[in-house]
Chain A
Amino acid sequence: MPFDAAPSEVPTSLDAFLASVEGRAYRLAELALGHREDALDTVQESMVRLVAYRDRPPAEWAPLFWSILRRQLTDRHRRNAVRNKVMAVLGRSGEQREDPLELMPDPGEDPAAHLDRQRAWNALGEAVRQLPRRQREAWLLRELQGLDVADTAAAMGCSEGSVKTHLSRAMSALRSHLEDWR
């Protein structure tokens, strides 16, 4: 599949590298977690951890960063699952997850277009979050972030064959969740 949306130039500094990936990392985390604050925390934690590898060759930063982000997302999912269980035991339904900033249109943008895009984004997020974890990781890294199969496999710590299997299953599931997009 001829797709490579990920920035391909080797960055000159870690600052430049992080600046080039922060928007995509945030949106990827937001899709996976469904919560702005969690997504921001996850991206920041991933940046902090990548800085520990600043002496590695710049060409290695991208695969390292996406691998770190994937692990951070997994950790965050586990924490949220525990938190939800604790809240359920305590008889509370959990904090309000809706973010008012999401409802604010970009100045100068047609409000109707903004609403349409927001709805599509929410639908995509809901569909992605229904996927099993490994399928979700494979689909986000390969299809949205645009890593090639080898880099996706490296970031996920599995074989290229496993990535292809996860992708195929993810697409089957998304086919039914995103029927409205057709």
Chain B
Amino acid sequence: MNRRDPDPMDLQTTAAARELFEQASRRLDPATALRLREARRTALAGSGQRRPGLAWGMPAGAFAATVMAVGLAWWWPGNEGTVPTGNIAETPVSQAELDALLDEDPDFYAWLAEAPVAMNDGGRR
């Protein structure tokens, strides 16, 4: 046996795992099979429809960061008079940041790009 040949016992273990995986994939319980069909239908229906539960499945990290930000905003001493007067829209945003945002939720940002923008004179464009 050349030293690159796989160990026959490894092959046996892998074959047993594959067989188990094949059986498990073919034999889904009815409830799971139904859930998968519904998931497929929802995905194909498109337009951002998600299972209601997913809305609550917000990443725990994002939730924790939000709680921390609100807590800090509440606790942090105010610093009136230091609000920057520059135009926020002029703050440079890197292409990498833009790509990351667009990748995260393209539908939302497409909508945002089309939404009317309030002007300083009270009008909208």
Contact = CB atoms under 8 A, between A and B. Distances in A.
Contacts of B119: none
Interface in A10-65: 14-15, 18-19, 22-24, 26-28, 31, 36, 40-41, 43-45, 47-48, 50-52
B53 A106 contact: no
A45 B14 contact: no
A101 B29 contact: yes
- B interface SS class: helix
Contacts of B37: 22
Contacts of A40: 32, 35-36, 39
B99 interface: no
Contacts of B27: 106
Interface residues of A, number: 47
B10 A171 contact: yes
Contact of B36 (A26, A31, A48, A78): A26
Interface of B: 6-7, 9-10, 12-14, 16-18, 20-29, 31-33, 35-37, 39-40, 42-44, 46, 50-51, 53-54, 57, 59-61, 64, 106
